[in-house]
Structure 1
Amino acid sequence: MSKSVTETLRLRVSELRQRRETPFLLEPGADTRAAIAGTIGAEAVKKLRFEGTLAPRGKYGWELRATLGATAVQPCIVTLEPVTTRIDTEVLRRFVPEDQMAATVEAGEETEMPEDDSLEPLGDVIDLDAVMTEALSLALPSYPRKDDADLGEAVFTEDGTEPLKDADLKPFAGLAALRDKMQGTDE
């Protein structure tokens, strides 16, 4: 089975092979990676590779299994300096017709999140770019932080008043002083 770079990022379901897997390989160029970085809130996506297969499952369903490899740069949440993250993750999506998805919920009703988060409604096309971008977005750290980044302690106060420090806000910070003061009065 030879894998080549897929020319189109949107595969028409009606044109997919019904009896065997369809391999794909996406390696977006610099312009596309820059657009993806903007979409997911990263400073840059240096490398990006999405490789896998799309296989028929049952009479109408499809299963996408792929490996996502990427190197992304995000700003540190403490210092705003660039943080480079390497991502290597497996991606699974199962596309099934809408009528085979879980029962629909009436508007305004509460519902629980399904345990199977790999289910997707099957439309006329399977958008590999959208799956790749979503998987990358989910794999990125929510709060990237440089190894040596430290918040330190910020002290703010009005003129003429003593600043309130983090240690003062701890609920039991003053108990030792209170104990010592009370013991001093007993003697």
Structure 2
Amino acid sequence: MAIQKNVLRVADLPQKKPTQFDIQPEAAQLDQITDQLELSALRKVRFKGVVAPIGQRDWELTAHLGATVVQPCVVTLAPVTTRIEEDISRLYLRELPEISEGSEIEMNTDDTVEALPATLNLDDILIEALALALPLYPKADDAALTQAAFTKPGEKAMTDDDARPFAGLASLRDKLNKDSDGSA
């Protein structure tokens, strides 16, 4: 069950000035985020920003996320520590442009625009931003991939060179060229 302390009801936000927030999760919430994102550890998390009105009906969230995460190395499983510093921007629109059935449209590549919800869960936004900022393949500085070959006992293991799709064709071409030079 997620701790939800930082939820803003849009109807309660002031229409004339920005609403500031500064979230520094406590130990229990850090543990939940660590488990949810399958991290080894999470520390020094801060999510600070503002939710500001745009016009009469829309809202913009701008913030900065800082966090120190520890993930297992994809090669050695050794802990890899990464410092994350990300600027976050979300635009919440009361009315999104309508899409008519059957017509062709160009997809908007702006992934910061969302439909305006009744509440803004800043904890969820923090977790989503952190998840998107995590390194996909964390690797320790001294980690190196080595070649591993697996096969049945008594058989020759297939190597990377054996798996190259045109390696066999190159040797066949060389053999044919050699044969045609000797028979002429």
CA distance in 1, matches of 2:6, 2:23: 8
Q: 2:65 aligns with which of 57, 65, 68?
A: 68
Matching of residue 114 in structure 1 with residue 111 in structure 2: no
SS in 2 for 1:49: strand
Residues 1-187 of structure 1 aligned to structure 2 (within 5 Å)? 8-97=5-94, 100-104=95-99, 113-173=107-167, 175=170, 179=174, 183=178, 186=182
- In the aligned structure 1, how far is the partner of 2:76 from the partner of 2:100? 44
Work out the number of aligned pairs and report it: 178
Residues 17 and 165 of structure 1: CA distance in aligned 2, closer, same or farther (over 3 Å): same
**Aligned mates of 1:105, 1:42 — CA distance in 2:** 42
Q: Following the alignment from structure 1 to structure 2, what is the Cα–Cα distance between the partners of residues 111 and 152?
A: 48
Counterpart of 1:54 in structure 2: which amino acid? Answer: V
Alpha-carbon offset, residue 43 of structure 1: 1.6
* Worse-superposed segment, 8-17 or 53-62: 8-17
| TM-score when normalising by structure 2 | 0.84
Q: CA RMSD in A?
A: 2.7
**Shift in Å at residue 134 of structure 1?**
0.4
TM-score, normalised to structure 1, is 0.83
Name 1:4's counterpart in structure 2. Answer: none
**Equivalent position amino acid for 1:103 in 2:** E
**Secondary structure in structure 2 of the residue aligned to 1:20:** coil
Task: Check the 8 A contact 2:5/2:123 in 1, yes or no.
Answer: no
